[in-house]
Structure 1
Amino acid sequence: MYDVVVVGGGPSGATAAADLARDGHKVALLDREGRIKPCGGAIPPRLIADFDIPEDQLVARITTARMVSPTGRQVDIPVEDGFVGMVDRKDFDPFLRARAEDAGATRFTGTFLRIDRNNGWPRVIFRNREGREQHLTTRLIVGADGAKSRVGRAEVPGAEDVPLVFAYHEIVAAPRDLALYDPVRCDVIYDGRISPDFYGWVFPHGDTCSIGMGTERPDVDLKDATAALREACGLSECETLRKEGAPIPMKPLKRWDNGQDVLLVGDAAGVVAPSSGEGIYYAMVAGRAAATATAACLASGRPRDLALARKIFMREHRSVFRVLASMQNAYYRSDSRRERFVSLCHDIDVQRLTFEAYMNKKLVKARPLAHLKIGFKNLAHLSGLVRETHV
């Protein structure tokens, strides 16, 4: 009999399992293993500090972000007084699962099938590596099994309605030609020929590099678009080491729990930042909030305490998500809008406030005049009052 069974061992599920186990709860962590999510791998300093990520997990330290427009305009934005850490999910996720196990969680490998409540306490039914069905009896279930969550679709109304971006990337051997590639710079490509409604990326991972793109449109061939991106960046000849694809949710669910014994977190709850698609930090924060909520529910016996997870998360991050969603809706509609967005990124106030918000994961309120200036510039760019100058 477990207190909590966590279904899914990515950053969100592994974090929830580790926190609960450290607090003395009996926890099972069920994961399929062998699946690597397509991910640029960027993590901010706040994540490194809040979740005690060791140095050996960082494969690169990024000091510059380059924005590239449809016409080839390039804007380099320096990361002032810090860096953005890069991780490779093939190593980072197993590290988090192992840390949960070290904290006391019991690991199981298998594929979630269903939840059975016919014999009193809920039982998580899964197929093990031998193909046989097993069950784990528990008081509560945390569904951290990603976008299109099987747990969510079976248990939480509305879980199937979250909008999705389909992401695809290829991990390649990092090129040696520094004229084409900077190992401490992330390139973000806003170009409708690569993605008609999102963006492409080239992110350094030390000895390797992630090249990919995302889109909500099912008619776009992700592999062809990535091939075009590699060609445009001069990276076609790099050795391809891995190819990975998966859906990424773009909006937090209105409800994360079933009002009884199931709570969703991470991609299953839709906690990926709009506009940027950033998910690792928000997944781990949601996992920690899930641990708090399930611990409260176990102590009180009140199912309504499961709703604390969403309340805790949204209280801190709702405003950031709203601003990012508005930016995506405003600028990702067309190449002309994307051109104006990259033009806006020339502004030093935009650069500083963007990275302050990214590093600290909150809207920066220290410079209200800068915010006011940005608001006027944003309106000017969207209305076309600003004349484009290509550099």
Structure 2
Amino acid sequence: MYDVVVIGGGPSGATAAEDLARSGHKVAMLDRAGRIKPCGGAIPPRLIADFAIPEDQLVAHITMARMISPTQRSVDMAIENGFIGMVDREHFDEFLRDRAAGAGATRLTGTFVKVDRDGSNPSVVYREKASGELRSIHTRLIIGADGARSAVARAEVPGGSTIPYVIAYHEIIEAPQSGARYDPVRCDVVYDGDISPDFYGWVFPHGKQASVGMGTGLSGFDLKAATAALRKASGLADCRTIRREGAPIPLRPLDRWDNGKDTVLAGDAAGVVAPSSGEGIYYAMFGGRVAASAAAACLTTGRASDLKLARRLFMREHKTVFRVLASMQNAYYRSNDRRERFVSLCHDVDVQRLTFEAYMNKAIVRSRPMAHVRIGLKNLAHLTGMVRPDYV
């Protein structure tokens, strides 16, 4: 009998498993293994500090972001007083799983099938990877951290099958030794409807490699052709392709994360990817941490209602940021004219400073109220067409 079975061993599931194991609970972590999620790999300083990420996991240190408009105008935004770390999910996720196992979690490799409830406690049924046989493990609680379009969410949580998402696709390539349009310490974000009609494209350095990709929620859009066009525009068409990956990325947190009995969701399964930016690693790990806290509370009190703590704690910390980013995505990603205006807005010093302070610290900066007023007025001017898109 386990206290908790965590289904999914990505950043969210591995964090939940580690936290629970370190607090003395008997934990099993079930992961499919061999899957690498398409991801730009950016992690902010707060994640590095909060989750004790060692330097050897960082494949690059980013000190500049370049925003590129549909007409190929670009705005360079320097990262003051710090850097953004880059990780390769192929190795980073395994590092987190190993760390969870080192804390005492039992690693299981296989695919989740269903939850049985013949007795007083649930049993997780999974297909073991090595043998192909069905196995069953008894547990008191379940954390579903099995990604977007989560099988646990669909089976166990009301509304778990209705989460909106975009499809992300990227290609990991050999990074060029040099190039006029590629910089190993700069992330390029491309706002161009030909690359992505409703999201964006990216070129993110990973040391000796780079991630080049895009996302869209538009059915039938050719992701591979768009990525090929992005590589060509970035001078990366001739670089060797190492691997290709695609996966759904959720756009909005679910309204409910638990089933009222014995299951709570975390990470992409709960929909905690930031709108507009698509950033997910920090929010996944924070989601895993609050899911672990909710599970620990439930195990202590015996109250299933304590599982609601996971969503409550997450939203208390990040609801405002998610609302602001969702509003920005809805306002600026709908047409190339709006994207052009968004990149123009990024020229603004107030926008740059507040954007990076919010990203690095994962909170809306409230220490400069007049800067927020100025940004609000400039934002209104762009959205109403009162200024030209090339206004600075």
Letter of the 1:338 partner, please give it.
R
Q: Where does residue 256 of structure 1 map in the other structure?
A: 257
Distance 2:323 2:107 in 1: 37
The one-letter code of the counterpart of 1:135 is S
Who is 1:140 aligned against?
141
Q: Which amino acid aligns with 2:36?
A: I
Distance, in Å, in 2 between the alignment partners of 1:255 and 1:277 is: 21
Matched to 1:147, the amino acid is A
Residues 111-166 of structure 1, C-alpha deviation per residue, up to 9 Å, x if partnerless? 00000001332100000011100011000000000000000000001111111010
For residue 8 of structure 1, what is the aligned residue in structure 2? Answer: 8
User: 2:218 and 2:169 mapped to 1: Cα distance?
Assistant: 13
Q: Where do 1:1-391 residues align within 5 Å?
A: 1-129=1-129, 130-389=131-390
Structure 2: give runs of 5+ residues left out of the alignment: none
Superposed CA RMSD in Å reads 0.9
Deviations 1:146-187 (A, max 9, x none): 000000000001111111010000000001223121000000
Unmatched 5+ stretches in structure 1: none
1:322 CA drift (Å) = 0.1
Q: Please list every run of at least 4 consecutive aligned residues from structure 1 whose deviation after the TM superposition is greater than 4 angstroms.
A: none
* Greater mean alpha carbon deviation, residues 13-22 or residues 169-178: 169-178
* Deviation, structure 1 residue 332: 0.1
One-letter identity of the residue aligned with 1:185: R
Asked if the contact 1:252/1:269 (under 8 Å) is kept, the reply is: yes
SS of alignment partner, residue 321 of structure 1: helix
Whichever residue aligns with residue 35 of structure 2, its letter is: R
Report deviation, 1:205: 0.1
Alpha-carbon deviation of 1:390?
8.2
* Cα deviation 1:178-221 (Å, max 9, x = unaligned): 31210000000000000000000000000000000000111101
Is the partner of 1:288 in helix, strand or coil? helix
Task: Render the CA deviation track for 1:195-248: whole Å, top value 9, x for unaligned.
Answer: 000000000000000000000111101111101111111111000001000000
Give a deviation string over 1:87-114, Cα, whole Å, max 9, x none: 0000000000000000000000000000
AA paired with 2:225?
Answer: D
Letter in structure 1 aligned against 2:26:
K
Aligned residues with identical type, % of pairs: 71
Helix, strand or coil at the partner of 2:161: helix
Aligned residues of 1:200 and 1:213 also touching (Cα < 8 A): yes
How far residue 388 of structure 1 moved from its aligned partner, in angstroms, is 2.8
| Aligned residue identity for 2:218 | R
TM-score, normalised by the number of residues in structure 1:
0.99
Question: What letter is aligned with 2:245?
Answer: E
* Matched AA of 2:79: V
SS in 1 for 2:376: helix
Q: Deviations over 1:242-289 (max 9, x none)?
A: 100000001000100000000000000000000000000000001000
1:73, 1:390 within 8 Å by CA — same for their partners in 2? no
How far apart are the structure 1 equivalents of 2:18 and 2:43?
19
Q: CA deviation at 1:31?
A: 0.1
Q: Tell me the distance in 2 between the aligned counterparts of 1:4 and 1:123.
A: 11
SS in 1 for 2:136: strand
Report the 3-state secondary structure (helix = DSSP H, G, I; strand = E; otherwise coil) of the residue aligned with 1:100.
helix
Q: 1:363 Cα deviation (Å)? A: 0.1
Deviates more, 1:57-66 or 1:225-234: 225-234
**Which sits farther off after the overlay, 224-233 or 296-305?**
224-233
Cα deviations across residues 350-388 of structure 1 (Å, max 9, x unaligned)? 000000000000000000000000000000001111123
Say if 2:70 and 2:340, in contact at 8 Å, map to a contact too.
Answer: yes
TM-score of the pair, normalised by structure 2:
0.99
Question: Contact 2:179–2:235 at 8 Å: present in 1 too?
Answer: no
The CA distance in 1 between the partners of 2:282 and 2:82, in whole Å, is 17
> Is the 8 Å Cα contact of residues 30 and 109 (structure 2) preserved in structure 1?
yes
Tell me, what secondary structure is at the counterpart of 2:171? strand
SS in structure 2 opposite 1:81? coil
Count residues in correspondence. Answer: 391
The secondary structure found in structure 1 opposite 2:77 is strand
State the alpha-carbon separation in 2 of the partners of residues 370 and 158 from structure 1. Answer: 39
